[in-house]
Amino acid sequence: MSMPGAGELIIIFFIVLVLFGAGKVPKIARDIGTGIKEFKKSLSDKDEDKKS
């Protein structure tokens, strides 16, 4: 399975825009970014615990 191309990403973006509305999309993106950041932090903390 390959990564979606530009056309597919645009279609997905429009579907999300229709489902959630223009006002909620930035909040959803911010929440996803925060979640990814916390996940990466927990992975790096776990690595530091193993080294000690």
- What ranges do the domains of the chain cover? 22-52
The pTM of this model reads 0.59
* pLDDT surpassing 60 at residue 4: yes
| Single-letter amino acid, residue 36 | I
Q: How far apart are CA 12 and CA 7, in angstroms?
A: 9
| Single-letter amino acid, residue 8 | E
pLDDT reported for residue 44: 86
* Digit-coded pLDDT (tens) for 20-45: 898 998 998 999 999 999 999 988 88
* pLDDT surpassing 60 at residue 9: yes
pLDDT reported for residue 36: 94
State the CB neighbour count (10 A cutoff) for residue 25. Answer: 14
Q: How many CA atoms lie within 13 A of 34 on its CB side?
A: 6
